[in-house]
C-alpha cells in the first residue's frame, strides 16, 4: 500500500519551528522592555546561526553538514531540545537508529513540552516497525491537554496503525483527523485506503471523490485508488472514465502501467 505522504508528512514544518525555538532562547530583557538583538548573548546568536544552517543543509539532504552545524549549536547551547530533535531527524535519515533514539529522548528530557520531538520520536518508532511502542508514544502525546497539532499526530498514528494492519484503530484515528480537518487531502486519502482494506467501498468512494473533485489535488495515486474502488463496486463505466484521465494526465506513472496491464490488486 502506498500511503500518501507518509514518508515526509511527519517532518513538515518541524525544522522551521525548531529554528524559532532556538531563536527564542535569548536572555530575557526587563519585563517592561521589548526584545531586541542586543538582548541575545553571544551563545544565543551562535546557536541561532548554526541552527538555521543545519536546517537548511538537512532540507537539502546534506546530512553531514547539517550534523556538523547541530554540534555547533549544542556547543553553544547544550540545553537546546530543538537541536537534539533535529539531530534525531538527521540520524534517523542516516539509519543511525541508536543515535536517533538517544537524540529524541534527550530532547524530551530537556523539554517535556517539546511536542515536535515527541511526535518525531513516535514516527521514528513507527518507521522502525516498533508499532506498539510508536502507538504508545502517539497516545501519550495526544493526551497532553496543551497539545494543539492533533491532526498531524492523528494522521501519523492512523498511518502507523494501518501499517500494522490494525484497520479498525487506524480508521478511528484517521476519522478523528478528518473531523478536525476535512480539507486535508493526506487525511482523506489515507482514510480511503483504510476503508478500502476494510471492504467499505461506498464509504471509501465518498472520501476519494471529494479529493478528486479538486483538480490540483488529483494525482495518479488518487485516480488509481478511485478506479480500484469503482471496480470493486462493479462500476465499469467509471473505471474506464478514470482510466482515460489517468492515461491523459499521467501517461508515465506506475499506476498507469498497472492499469494498462489490468493489475488492479497489486
Q: What's the rounded mean pLDDT across residues 154-174?
A: 98
Question: Taking the complete model, does pTM exceed 0.85, yes or no?
Answer: no
Q: Are 134 and 191 members of one domain?
A: yes
Dihedral class, residue 7 (left if φ above 0, else alpha if ψ from -120 to 50, else beta): alpha
Say whether both 122 and 53 belong to one domain. Answer: no
Same domain? 106 vs 133: no
Q: In terms of residues, how long is the chain?
A: 266
The rounded distance, in Å, linking the Cα atoms of 176 and 206 is 16
In a domain, 2, yes or no: no
Q: What is the mean pLDDT of the chain?
A: 89
Q: Does 106 share its domain with 124?
A: no
**Structural domain span for residue 243:** 218-265
b/e map of 109-123 (b: 16 or more CB within 10 Å)? ebbeebbbbbbbbbb
- Of 88, 111, 134, which residue sits at a domain end? 111
Higher pLDDT, 79 or 7: 79
In a domain? residue 211: no
Indicate if the pLDDT at residue 258 is higher than 90: yes
Q: What is the DSSP letter of 26?
A: S
CB atoms within 10 A of CB 175: 17
Per residue in 176-190, pLDDT (tens digit) is: 999 999 999 999 999
Task: Give domain status of residue 83, yes or no.
Answer: yes
142 and 177 fall within a common domain: yes
Examine the fold and report which residue of 85, 111, 137 is the final residue of a domain before the chain moves on. 111
For the chain, give percent helix, strand, coil, nearest 5: 70, 0, 30
* Per-residue DSSP letter, 53: H
Does residue 143 fall inside a structural domain?
A: yes
How do residues 24-40 score in pLDDT, each as one tens digit? 433 444 556 665 665 56
Task: Retrieve residue 213's grid coordinates.
Answer: 473533485
The answer on 229 and 163 residing in a single domain is no
Q: Per residue in 34-73, pLDDT tens?
A: 656 655 677 788 889 999 999 999 999 999 999 999 999 9
Residue 35 lies in a domain: no
What's the CATH number where 107 sits?
A: 1.25.40.10
CA distances from 149 to 27, 83, 113, 160, 180 (A): 28, 20, 13, 17, 10
Residue recorded with cell 487525511: 187
Asked whether residue 99 falls in the same domain as residue 121, the answer is no
Residue 264: φ, ψ to 5°: -75, -20
Q: Has residue 10 been placed in a domain?
A: no
DSSP 171-225: HHHHHHHHHH-TT-HHHHHHHHHHHHHTT-HHHHHHHHHHHHTSGGG--HHHHHH
Say if 89 falls within a structural domain.
yes
Q: How many domains, in total, are found in the chain?
A: 3
Same domain, 139 and 193: yes
Q: Are residues 120 and 196 in the same domain?
A: yes
Q: Are residues 143 and 180 in the same domain?
A: yes
- Residue 12 belongs to some domain of the structure: no
* Pair (98, 123) in one structural domain: no
Residue 220 grid cell: 495518479
- Residue 155: what pLDDT? 98
Amino acid at each position: 500500500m502506498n500511503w500518501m505522504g507518509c514518508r515526509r508528512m511527519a517532518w513538515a514544518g518541524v525544522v522551521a519551528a525548531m529554528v524559532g525555538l532556538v531563536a527564542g532562547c535569548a536572555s530575557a530583557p526587563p519585563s517592561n522592555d521589548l526584545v531586541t538583538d542586543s538582548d541575545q548573548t553571544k551563545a544565543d546568536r551562535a546557536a541561532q546561526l548554526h541552527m538555521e544552517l543545519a536546517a537548511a543543509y538537512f532540507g537539502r539532504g546534506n546530512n553531514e553538514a547539517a550534523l556538523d552545524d547541530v554540534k555547533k549549536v549544542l556547543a553553544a547551547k547544550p540545553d537546546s531540545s530543538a537541536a537534539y530533535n533535529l539531530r534525531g531527524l538527521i540520524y534517523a535519515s542516516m539509519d543511525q537508529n541508536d543515535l536517533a533514539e538517544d537524540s529524541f529522548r534527550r530532547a524530551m528530557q530537556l523539554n517535556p513540552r517539546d511536542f515536535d520531538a515527541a511526535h518525531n520520536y513516535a514516527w521514528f518508532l513507527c518507521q522502525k516497525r516498533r508499532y506498539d511502542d510508536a502507538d504508545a508514544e502517539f497516545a501519550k502525546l495526544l493526551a497532553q491537554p496543551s497539545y494543539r497539532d492533533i491532526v498531524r499526530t492523528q494522521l501519523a498514528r492512523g498511518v502507523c496503525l494501518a501499517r500494522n494492519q490494525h484497520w479498525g484503530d487506524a480508521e478511528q484515528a484517521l476519522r478523528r483527523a478528518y473531523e478536525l480537518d476535512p480539507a486535508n487531502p493526506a487525511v482523506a486519502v489515507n482514510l480511503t485506503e483504510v476503508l478500502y482494506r476494510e471492504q467499505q467501498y461506498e464509504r471509501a468512494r465518498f472520501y476519494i471523490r471529494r479529493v478528486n473533485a479538486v483538480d490540483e489535488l488529483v494525482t495518479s495515486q488518487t485516480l488509481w485508488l478511485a478506479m480500484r474502488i469503482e471496480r470493486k463496486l462493479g462500476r465499469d463505466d467509471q473505471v474506464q472514465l478514470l482510466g482515460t484521465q489517468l492515461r491523459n494526465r499521467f501517461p508515465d506513472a506506475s499506476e498507469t502501467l498497472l492499469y494498462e496491464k489490468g493489475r488492479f490488486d497489486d
